[in-house]
Amino acid sequence: MNKKPTSENRKALPKFALTTLGSLLAGGALGFVIGLTKVFGLNVSALAAALSAALEAATPWGIPVTSVLTLGTCFFLYRFAAKKFAAWDGGDEDETSESIDAALSWVLLLSALQLLFNLFFLSAFCIYWMEKSIGALAVVGVFLLSCGFVMFTQQKTIDLERKMNPEKHGSVYDSKFQKKWLESCDESERRQIGEASRRAYMVTSRLCLGLWLALIILSMMLKISVLPTVVLLVVWGTMQVTYTLECIRLGKHSESL
């Protein structure tokens, strides 16, 4: 028999209470530290200005440096996987395929991170350098070139994955690639994707909560607008609403079968 909801609540309540109490104590301690910084005259604004200046100086070099590091690593990982696949004679299928899949997964992860780096440094360039009109075309060109290498890297990775698994289909240049790729996955792979998606949802929810708390704390120390908080809550809310609506839709679909 299933446990009664009241017993489940009683079991979980002490942990929830301790977590809440710990959060309150941590917030109080942090508030006390912030108060001390004001008492002892720590210039938080000067520290923020120094960090901003450092970011401004690093921005023009951000995309090329990170591209060399991440895409260079992607190249060596892809070469490792391609050579191992070419030398594969069909024996030790599980061990060989797992090592190749692991290398290709790291390639996809690093290339996705590089795309985020590109977007971040381009945004920073628009903030710090666009008004100065220094090297704008060059930075945009480097941005496009890096994004092109990212797409090419992902395309080569997917092509190698399709050679290993001929039943898979889809192209990274197709806007419906993820849907087509999921349709070609077997039940085990779909369960793995579902578990990974659930984990990503949980981690993102906690990250959004942590970022919200960080913005609250920063608003006590620095004069920042409410816009970052609004953007964060829009992203968080979109994720929550999309997840819930999709669960409702999938629930109706399963009942109709």
Q: Which two tokens stand for residue 181?
A: 């790729």
Average pLDDT over residues 158-183: 82
Domain boundaries, the chain: 59-185, 187-257
Q: Which two tokens stand for residue 100?
A: 């190749």
Identify the pLDDT of residue 64: 93
In tens, the pLDDT along 41-92 reads 556 566 667 777 788 888 888 899 999 999 999 999 999 999 888 887 665 5
In tens, the pLDDT along 156-169 reads 999 888 888 888 88
HEC readout, the chain? CCCCHHHHHHHHHHHHHHHHHHHHHHHHHHHHHHHHHHHCCCCHHHHHHHHHHHHHHHHHHHHHHHHHHHHHHHHHHHHHHHHHHHCCCCCCHHHHHHHHHHHHHHHHHHHHHHHHHHHHHHHHHHHHCHHHCCCHHHHHHHHHHHHHHHHHHHHHHHHHHHHHCCCCCCCCCCCCHHHHHHHCCCHHHHHHHHHHHHHHHHHHHHHHHHHHHHHHHHHHHCCCCCHHHHHHHHHHHHHHHHHHHHHHHHHHHHHHC
For residues 222 and 171, give the distance between their C-alpha atoms in angstroms, rounded to a whole number.
Answer: 46
Identify the pLDDT of residue 36: 59
Question: Angle formed by the axes of helices 93-128 and 44-86, to 10°?
Answer: 150
Q: pTM value?
A: 0.75
Identify the pLDDT of residue 77: 93
Average pLDDT over residues 189-209: 87
Identify the pLDDT of residue 233: 92
Percent of the chain with pLDDT over 70: 77
User: Which amino acid, 167?
Assistant: E
For residues 203 and 197, give the distance between their C-alpha atoms in angstroms, rounded to a whole number.
Answer: 10
Identify the pLDDT of residue 45: 65
- Report whether 215 contacts 227 (CB < 8 A): no
